[in-house]
Amino acid sequence: MAPKFDADGLVTCVATDARSGDVLMVAHMNAQALQRTIATGEAWYFSRSRRALWRKGETSGHLQRVVEMRIDCDQDAVWIKVEQEGAGACHTGRRSCFYRAVPLGKAGAKLQFVEDKVFDPKAVYDK
Amino acid sequence: MAPKFDADGLVTCVATDARSGDVLMVAHMNAQALQRTIATGEAWYFSRSRRALWRKGETSGHLQRVVEMRIDCDQDAVWIKVEQEGAGACHTGRRSCFYRAVPLGKAGAKLQFVEDKVFDPKAVYDK
């Protein structure tokens, strides 16, 4: 394994729901996050906005248990299939961060909300 | 819709197989690739290595028809569910670019090949 980290020392990580197959989120891992994810079987990321290592669910309790990890052909992206603890992965309160659909075939169409909130982000994050 | 393009003018795109749910590839789209994908319902990307707009399958014939497009909470990543034309999406000849598993629980373990080749990349690309 020879991950190809970018100029910021990161690889892209796609997390999918091990049961439904839905994409839950796209985030990034630095070498330490990748190492900890492999060692512990729980998802660790690197937050680009906070410039900090981030154990998924540290605040919310919504941990992700990694069922399988794969790496792509050029080793700059990993795919983890996870069992999502708690109601959801998204900080907005949805199960998936991809809760809006983009209509095809017409430019400038409005996004369509296709997933309801499954938890109250205020109650979960403002503890 | 207000995509948040990065410093290079790109958003990340995850393409999954509309039937199996497997992640086929992770690539990037600039504004033009995104607009063409929405307009045509076929996947267009921007190749960072070739610095060029790239119609998926232009050379190989392995087009991707977009069944659904979603955008994530901070609008810097899109997820497309695709019907993959031809045998596969990966330039190495596999259906998915994620054809190697990373063993969990042990540091430095060797990658495991979990997908066989489904087409001969030489025959497809060296025409």
pLDDT tens digits for A53-66? Answer: 999 999 999 999 99
pLDDT tens digits for A56-105? Answer: 999 999 999 999 999 999 999 999 999 999 999 999 999 999 999 999 99
Q: How many CB pairs under 8 A join A and B?
A: 121
Other C-beta atoms closer than 10 Å to the C-beta of B68 total 16
How many whole angstroms separate alpha carbon B62 and alpha carbon B70? 22
* C-alpha to C-alpha distances, A107 to A127, B10, B41, B68, B77, nearest whole angstrom: 41, 18, 12, 15, 18
Whole-number pLDDT of residue A55: 97
Helix (H) or strand (E) holding B39: helix B31-40
Say yes or no for a CB contact (<8 Å) between A104 and B1.
no
Binding-face residues of B in 106-125 toward A, CB within 8 A: 106-111, 114
Shortest distance between the Cα of B62 and any Cα of chain A, in A, equals 17
Q: What ipTM describes this predicted complex?
A: 0.95
Is this model's pTM higher than 0.80 or not? yes
Query: For testing the chain A interface, which of B104, B115, B118 should be mutated: the one with the most A CBs within 10 Å?
Result: B104
Q: Which two tokens stand for residue B83?
A: 């019907």
Return all residues near B106 (Cβ < 8 A) that are at least 6 apart: A38
Query: With contacts defined as CB-CB under 8 Å, which chain A residues touch B1?
Result: 102, 108-111
pLDDT band at B35 (very low <50, low <70, confident <90, very high): very high
